[in-house]
Every structure is written in C-alpha cells, then in structure tokens.
C-alpha cells in the first residue's frame, strides 16, 4: 500500500501556515489539476484528489490539530474521536470550499475575497423628437436643442462622496458586492443589501448630488441636420446621453426626425409630388404655367388635350439623398378644375359649345371607352 504524502507537503506549505495560506494553496492546485481542465489525465485526477483530501483535513481546526499530533491516523479518526460522519470538514466548510473552486475555474463570483463587480455603469441612452420643415430636411441646417438629462456631478467628480472624504469598502460583503447565505449543505450567493453590489459605501454623501454622483440639469446641444434627411431617420450623438454611474461612460442621444406636412409638396423617397390645378381652357388648348420648386419657379408646358391626373416630371428638382447619389425629381400631377359660380351668360356659352360638339364621340374618347365597357358588362 502506497504511503500517503504529508498534507503540508502536498499543499506546498509549512506547518505554521495560516488558514488563508491553506485555502489559497488548495485553490491554486485545484484549478491546475481539476479533471474538467485535464480530461483523461489520471495523474492530474490523483493530484486533485490528494490536494482535496489535504485541504479537508487542514482546513478543519480540530482535524488539523489531531493530524499535527498523530499524523494520518489522527486525521482519519484513529485518535481523538473524529471518526465516522463526524470526521472531515463540516458541510458548510465543504460547500464554501467547493464554491471557491468552481468560482475560480468557471469565472463565478463569491463573497469571500477578491474584487467585487465593477461599480462603473454606462449611462442610459436618450431620445429627442425633432420636428423639421421640409426645407430644413432637404437643405440641412444646424439647430440647437435643450434636453433634460443627468450629468456628472462636478463637486464630487461623479464619485457621490463629499469632496475630501472618498468612498470606503463595504464591511458587510468585504468589498466584493456579494454575500453568501448558508442553508444546510448549500450556499446561496446574493447581492449585498448594504452596498447593492458595488462593494463600496459612501459615509459622507456629496451635498450637491446627494451621493448619486449625477445631477439633473438641462443641456443645450447643437445638432447638425444633414441635407436630404427623411422622416423617421435618426441622428446619433455619441456620449450625449445620461452620465454613467461611478465613472462609467455616458449613454448616447438619438434625435428622431419628424418632417412636418408641407403646404405644396409631398415627399416620396427622393421625389417631390406637387398637385397643380389647371383650367378647363388650358387643359383643352394647352399653355404654360409657373410651378414652384424648393429652389424657385420653373415653367411647365401643358400640351393641348391634357387630361386630369396627367403627371409631368421635372428632372433633378427633387431631393438629394442623405447618403449621396442622384437627385430625385419633381412630379407635377395636374388636376382639371371645373369652373364654379358661373353667370347665366357663361352657362349659355357653355351650352352652345356643348351643342357644337354634336353627337360624335371623337371629342370624349375616355367617356366613349367607359360606356362601351359598361355595355359589355351588362351583356350589350
């Protein structure tokens, strides 16, 4: 039967090693030889078991004392009455030890040592709804906005502590932000109720921000509107959101664009749509009209016999895309307007005109086509 090595030798320690030294040494060995890190390595598995056995004995004050006096026989209960279920580390100690190892190997946190979670937290993003005229959206402009936000407190430089006092480590969790609650064999890790997971407490809060590290204030910003921006687009202002907590970075500000309705134009993608009313006479005989664009007036030629709803395209009179590229068009949709409030003499002239057209259908091709379709629908 193989002779067991001295437990202190296994852990690489002297007999006067402290409890913390024993725990640190064991954790180091356990991380090195854990089976999950050494799959299929029997030698590593044996070393892990050997280190675990040494830790179970030396981490228990009574078993360690017995081992120091009587060697391995004392550790196994041969002397001093530490046999059976009474032997070995207690359930709480074992759970604590096991939590330490898994926390180090798999990246978990526990409440017994090391740094707690980072206190720094990124600030929240903000949204601002901006209304623009069509002209402002098409040509671009720089506008100022005033927003309510949380900014870093200058008095405490965002620490939340009164100037000259600083912050201190939380005594409840030892500065790690987590506490462990023992329930029988199992232990439950929870956020520290005193420092709320930061690992630090403020004994003398800053009077200006009341310990928050941030203050509510209005901030004025200049927003550059790029030419061609469209309804529903967003502009991101990096770092102009709420200030971060405990030295964390600030959030961003998103400016949401809303374009107000225009009295003349309607935008569709990069094209502008314009409704142009024309008289019965111009629609019949043709003519010229001055139509507006965002850059001034242009002449639009209306050919004779133009029907209501006809669309005319003016190239390059629309909007240039915010992402560059070609410029859209201005599309003029004409609407033939029926004259209203006619005098009796004017009505008589129209009647004479209508009679002059006779019964021929050549003057109303669309009406002729429509009536033919109606006849066919009803079977002739």
More confident residue, 116 or 195: 195
Q: Using one digit for the tens of pLDDT, what is the confidence trace for 127-184?
A: 999 999 999 999 999 999 999 988 888 888 877 888 878 778 888 887 777 887 766 5
Mean pLDDT to the nearest integer, 356-361: 74
Distances (CA, A) of 209 to 58, 118, 212, 221: 50, 21, 5, 23
Please say if the pLDDT value at position 118 is more than 60: no
More confident residue, 229 or 114: 229
More confident residue, 258 or 36: 258
Task: Say if CB 225 and CB 235 are below 8 A apart.
Answer: yes
pLDDT of residue 228: 93
In this prediction, residue 247 has a pLDDT band, given cuts at 50, 70 and 90, of confident
Mean pLDDT to the nearest integer, 254-260: 96
Mean pLDDT to the nearest integer, 46-60: 90
pLDDT of residue 156: 84
CA distance 240 to 115: 30
More confident residue, 239 or 355: 239
Mean pLDDT to the nearest integer, 202-206: 83
Could you give the count of Cα atoms lying within 13 Å of 274 in the half-sphere of its Cβ?
23
pLDDT of residue 198: 74
Bridge partner residues of 334 (DSSP): 276
pLDDT of residue 245: 82
DSSP result, 310-365: -EEEETT-S-B-TT-S-B--EEEEEEEEPP-S--HHHHHHHHHHHHHTTT-STT-H
Distances (CA, A) of 75 to 46, 56, 61, 301: 19, 10, 11, 109
Task: Say if CB 26 and CB 11 are below 8 A apart.
Answer: yes
**Which ranges in the chain belong to alpha helices (H)?**
7-11, 19-33, 42-58, 61-70, 72-75, 91-106, 134-139, 280-285, 344-356, 365-377
pLDDT of residue 114: 39
Closest CA to 122 of 239, 255, 254: 239
CA distance 93 to 135: 74
Average pLDDT, the chain: 81
The answer to which of 4-18, 58-72, 241-255, 309-323 has the lowest mean pLDDT is 58-72
In this prediction, residue 266 has a pLDDT band, given cuts at 50, 70 and 90, of very high
Mean pLDDT to the nearest integer, 286-297: 91
Task: Say if CB 259 and CB 269 are below 8 A apart.
Answer: no
Please say if the pLDDT value at position 285 is more than 50: yes
In this prediction, residue 254 has a pLDDT band, given cuts at 50, 70 and 90, of very high
CA distance 25 to 55: 9
pLDDT of residue 112: 39
Residues 6+ apart with CB under 8 A from 169: 175, 199, 200, 201
CA distance 85 to 258: 74
pLDDT of residue 252: 95
The answer to which of 159-163, 185-189, 237-241, 342-346 has the lowest mean pLDDT is 185-189
pLDDT of residue 373: 77
Neighbours of 333 (CB within 10 A): 14
* Prediction pTM value: 0.57
In this prediction, residue 103 has a pLDDT band, given cuts at 50, 70 and 90, of very low
pLDDT of residue 119: 64
Distances (CA, A) of 130 to 24, 259, 272: 59, 8, 21
Mean pLDDT to the nearest integer, 361-369: 69
């Amino acid at each position: 039967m193989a002779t067991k090595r001295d437990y202190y030798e296994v852990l690489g320690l002297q007999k006067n090693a402290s409890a913390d030294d024993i725990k640190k040494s064991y954790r180091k060995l356990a991380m090195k030889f854990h089976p999950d890190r050494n799959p299929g390595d029997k030698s590593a598995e044996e070393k892990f078991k050997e280190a675990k056995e040494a830790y179970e004995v030396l981490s228990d004050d009574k078993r360690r004392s017995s081992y120091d006096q009587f060697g391995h026989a004392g550790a196994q209960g041969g002397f001093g009455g530490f046999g059976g279920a009474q032997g070995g580390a207690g359930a709480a100690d074992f759970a604590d030890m096991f939590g330490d190892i898994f926390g180090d190997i798999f990246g978990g946190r526990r409440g017994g040592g090391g740094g707690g979670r980072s206190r720094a937290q990124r600030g929240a993003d903000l949204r601002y709804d901006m209304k623009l005229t069509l002209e402002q959206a098409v040509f671009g402009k720089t506008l100022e906005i005033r927003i309510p936000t949380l900014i870093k407190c200058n008095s405490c430089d965002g620490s939340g502590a009164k100037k000259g006092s600083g912050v201190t480590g939380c005594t409840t969790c030892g500065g790690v932000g987590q506490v462990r609650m023992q329930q029988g064999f199992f232990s439950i890790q929870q956020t520290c109720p005193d420092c709320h997971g930061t690992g630090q407490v403020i004994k003398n809060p800053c009077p200006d921000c009341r310990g928050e590290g941030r203050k509510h204030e209005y901030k004025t910003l200049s927003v550059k509107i790029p030419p061609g921006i469209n309804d529903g687009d967003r502009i991101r202002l990096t770092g102009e959101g709420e200030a971060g907590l405990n030295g964390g970075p600030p959030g961003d500000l998103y400016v949401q664009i809303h374009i107000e309705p225009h009295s003349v134009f309607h935008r569709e993608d990069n094209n502008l749509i314009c409704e142009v009313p024309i008289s019965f006479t111009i629609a019949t005989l043709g003519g010229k009209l001055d139509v507006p664009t965002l850059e001034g007036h242009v002449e639009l030629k209306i050919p004779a016999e133009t029907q209501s709803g006809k669309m005319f395209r003016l190239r390059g009179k629309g909007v240039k895309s915010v992402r560059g590229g070609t410029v859209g068009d201005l599309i003029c949709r004409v609407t033939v307007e029926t004259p209203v409030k006619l005098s009796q003499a004017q009505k008589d002239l129209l009647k004479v005109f209508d009679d002059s057209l006779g019964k021929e259908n050549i003057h109303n091709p669309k009406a002729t086509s429509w009536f033919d379709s109606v006849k066919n629908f009803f079977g002739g």
